[in-house]
Amino acid sequence: METSRVSELETLFGVELSGEQRHQVRVYLETLSRWNRRINLTSIDRVEEQLRLSFFEAFWAAKLFVKEDTRVADIGAGAGFPGVPIKVFRPGVELTLIEPSGKKAVFLEEACRAAGIGVRVFGGRGEEFGDWESIDLATVRALRLSPLVERQLCNNRIELLVFHGKAPEVTEARFAVDRRERVPGSENRFVSLYVPRET
């Protein structure tokens, strides 16, 4: 992980990382690289792309949309994005990673432990998660939410932060877009904050 590239990305995205945050990113990426050789965690294999698309996009979104002490659930966490970078950037966030794949859930626990990132991992589907009342904000990336999960979010008045390219697949009858921002350095990547409609 080149220091000069990290500095360039900090400038592009308007964020500044501490030495500890840089260390956490480095350890997490090293762990991800090792595990990715055995199980398919991500199709992005270049460190520079991982930094830009997986980490700095989420750092930037955390700066704009997420406050400290927010209770966040990352639905379909996969390799840990965007939830883990949000936690790195906002250490006060309480993060739950929801991941149905047992192997990926084990990776998340191991990678976060190695990097010193405190998270809760729920090994199961969003439909099976039974603690929605303890969540303020849900995040999702490259995943269509089931009607049951959408209903849980709405019933518990949980806001939804969506990382997407083209128009995201969110049920407009249940959610209204509150704010949408284009990702720096990209023409077709966006982050949108949705709020539950009044029922």
Which conformational region is residue 45 in: left (phi greater than 0), alpha (psi within -120 to 50 degrees), or beta?
A: alpha
| Predicted pLDDT of residue 43 | 59
pLDDT in tens, the chain (199 residues): 678 889 999 999 999 999 999 999 999 999 998 998 877 776 555 767 889 989 999 999 999 999 999 999 999 999 999 999 999 999 999 999 999 999 999 999 999 999 999 999 999 999 999 999 999 999 999 778 999 999 999 999 999 999 998 777 787 889 999 999 999 999 999 999 999 998 6
Q: What local confidence, expressed as pLDDT, does residue 199 receive?
A: 64
What local confidence, expressed as pLDDT, does residue 1 receive? 64
pLDDT number for residue 38: 79
**Domains of the chain, first to last:** 3-148 (3.40.50.150)
Model pLDDT, residue 41? 73
Token pair listed for 180 = 């949408």
Token pair belonging to 181: 């921002």
Give the pLDDT score at 25.
96
pLDDT in the model for residue 168: 72
The reported pLDDT for the residue numbered 50 is: 85
> What is the 3-class SS of 45-90, one letter each residue?
CCHHHHHHHHHHHHHHHHHHHCCCCCEEEEECCCCCCCHHHHHHHC
